[in-house]
């Protein structure tokens, strides 16, 4: 399915009352997106700025911090806003 020009997967869940909700599955961040760490991870301090270089799993990304590339969960990343 195409959403906003990108291919995404949609999956439906049913709660105990029978209500169906659609959830969007797919990458949260595209490649080459600048991101910031919310918590220290694998030797990188909180607030470290990196760039997404690939997708490791459904909700994990390969992120380059300087010369080091590590795998980080999406819940530990936030978009790095560029000051203008």
Q: Per residue of the chain (84 residues), what is the pLDDT tens digit?
A: 445 555 555 555 555 565 555 555 555 778 888 999 999 988 999 999 999 998 888 778 999 998 899 999 988 998 887 655
> Does a structural domain hold residue 44?
yes
Supply the pLDDT for residue 1. Answer: 47
Establish if 84 belongs to a structural domain: no
Q: Where residue 23 sits, what CATH number does that domain have?
A: 2.30.30.140
Name the residue range of residue 62's domain: 2-79
Question: How do the residues of the chain divide into helix, strand and coil, expressed in percent and rounded to 5?
Answer: 5, 55, 40
* Tokens read off for 69: 């590339």
Q: Is residue 33 part of a domain?
A: yes
Residue 73 · residue 63 · CB < 8 Å: no
Instruction: Enter the pTM of the model.
Output: 0.63
The domain tally of the chain equals: 1
């Amino acid at each position: 399915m195409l959403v906003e020009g990108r291919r995404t997967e949609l999956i439906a869940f049913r709660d105990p009352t029978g209500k169906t909700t659609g959830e969007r599955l797919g990458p949260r961040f595209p490649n080459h997106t600048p991101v910031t760490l919310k918590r220290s991870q694998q030797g990188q301090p909180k607030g470290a700025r990196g760039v997404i270089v690939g997708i490791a799993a459904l909700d994990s990304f390969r992120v380059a911090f300087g010369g080091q590339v590590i795998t980080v969960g999406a819940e530990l990343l936030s978009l790095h806003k560029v000051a203008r």
